[in-house]
Amino acid sequence: MGTMVDQAVLDGVIETYGSKDGWQGFEARGRSCSWCREPIRLRPSSSRAGSEYFKACGNRRATRCRSCADRYRMDARVLVLAGLDGGKGISEEIRSYPVVFATLTAPSFGAVHRSVSRDGRILPCRPGMKGPCVHGRKRSCAMTYGHHDKLVGEPLCPDCYDYEGAVLFNALVPELWRRVTITARRNLARLYGFTQSEFNEEIRLSFVKVVEYQRRGVIHLHVVARLDHAREDSSLMLNGSLLATAIELAVNQVSLVSPHDGAFVSFGSQLDLQLLEETDPIHRRKVAGYVSKYATKSSDDEGVLDRKIRSAEDLSHRNLTPHLRRLAETAWHLGALPELAHLPLRRWAHTLGFRGHWMTKSRCWSTTFRYLRAERAQWQEGRRQQTIGVDDSDRLIPRYAFVGIGWKNSGEVFFARQRQREMFEIRQMLREHLSSIPAVLPPPIGA
């Protein structure tokens, strides 16, 4: 029995076949934007430059455009890895510099359902807590949940959960992290026996940071930090253990006073620190991949909060879990308070109060996204010239006019989604093949 095809899809396919460029033009446009979900359609002013040109939307969120998010994630991985192993204009000498991978967590704002596993076994959510809470709800849960279960992250008692504290923590994380970096530098200066000015002349702290949203709606920070020589002729011994100690002390020392109720706001007590060894390149690559995957995540798994909330009515029409809805409502409510005017919480209610960048790095960590995009554009242009036999003297750089956003008809949308799935299947096969090839480790130091 054949598969039924929508009439709008058939009409779209016929329209594309009968267009000036035909189906080959559609395929060429799709490949040029990597089968973006909502490409930007541009028309060149010169007839020599061809007909319409499709530019990828460039959205980093996987819930909005999987194709562009995958490219952003790969660029983010290259950016992180260049700061670990060199390359892309960065000297490979930095491989010998000490690097620490740190995960800074959020404090508890109330008990939530969780997925617990150990040694391949799924354990009960929250056993052992006896008696009800002050609102008459159970404080324990003997159920077992998978990681993707809808109840994971939902509070056991919504009335006990500190929603205002969670939203304000998200809003104050950028300032908390700024103070952690300042305090870590001061701690390093003290551990090395330097004054602050002497430390700045000898040592530089570089880092890359990515934000991860937990299922409970609060954020974690994944940080890869590195110690560099501030002077090229410096012979000072860089110590990774001192870097880890300085970060641990800074996280425990830094706190802020909430502008709402005067409570102290700080990172959680759970802090994970790993010293990345130069002789373990596989682990370093895994860290780069682990960090970069969070750069494409959204504040919710379905992408409902990918766009800004315009009004309370707008929020009420969104299909959110009860917990995320209450977090967004709390951010919207707090945004109207005069003492929190410097934290534009209504503007950032769709990110549950967080108003920083999803991925940031210090200036000297490694290369930039602009460098990577320019390098890719240069490679693509070189391949195009080889294909059609055009040299630089014949090259025409046209001016483009905006035409629209998205594919032209339902037929193109249908086949673009199909081509995108095929593209990801091929990429997955390549990744599995590359992961099966044994890595060649460098000889141990002194060998």
| Tally of CB atoms within 10 A around 135 | 9
Q: Is the pLDDT of residue 385 over 80?
A: no
H-helix segments, 275-409: 281-293, 312-316, 322-334, 369-388
Predicted pLDDT at 441? 41
Predicted pLDDT at 387? 62
- Interaxial angle between packed helices 163-192 and 322-334, expressed in degrees from 0 to 180 and rounded to the nearest 10: 80
89-140 pLDDT, tens digit per residue, is 888 888 989 999 999 999 999 999 998 888 888 888 988 788 888 988 988 8
Tokens encoding 426: 């091929």
**Cβ neighbourhood burial of 37 (10 Å; 0-12, 13-18, 19+):** buried
- Quote the CA–CA distance of 161 and 330 in Å, as a whole number: 12
Strands 116-118 and 121-123, sheet pairing: antiparallel
Do residues 372 and 75 touch, judged by C-beta distance below 8 A?
yes
pLDDT band at 4 (very low <50, low <70, confident <90, very high): low
Mean pLDDT across the chain: 87
3-state secondary structure of 320: coil
Predicted pLDDT at 383? 72
Q: What is the CA radius of gyration of the chain?
A: 26
The three-point CA angle 91-95-97 to 5° equals 105
Tokens encoding 259: 């502008």
For residue 136, the one-letter residue type is G
Torsion of CA 303, 307, 313, 319, to 10 degrees: 0
Average pLDDT over residues 23-29: 86
Residue 318: name the closest of 300, 344, 296 by CA: 300
The three-point CA angle 171-174-175 to 5° equals 95
Do residues 45 and 397 touch, judged by C-beta distance below 8 A?
no
The rounded Cα 328 to chain-centroid distance in angstroms is 20
Do residues 37 and 70 touch, judged by C-beta distance below 8 A?
no
* CB proximity list for 190: less than 8 A, separation 6 or greater: none
* CB proximity list for 128: less than 8 A, separation 6 or greater: 140
Q: Is the pLDDT of residue 144 over 60?
A: yes
Q: What is the phi/psi pair of residue 102, to 5°?
A: -125, 140
Residue position matching structure tokens 């560099």: 228
184-201 pLDDT, tens digit per residue, is 999 999 999 999 999 999
Predicted pLDDT at 440? 45
Q: What is the phi/psi pair of residue 184, to 5°?
A: -65, -40
Tokens encoding 288: 């780069």
Do residues 141 and 125 touch, judged by C-beta distance below 8 A?
yes
253-268 pLDDT, tens digit per residue, is 999 999 998 999 999 9
Q: What is the phi/psi pair of residue 220, to 5°?
A: -110, 160
Q: pTM to 2 decimals?
A: 0.86
pLDDT band at 427 (very low <50, low <70, confident <90, very high): confident
Q: Is the pLDDT of residue 425 over 90?
A: no
Report the half-sphere exposure of 43 (CA within 13 A, side-chain side). 7
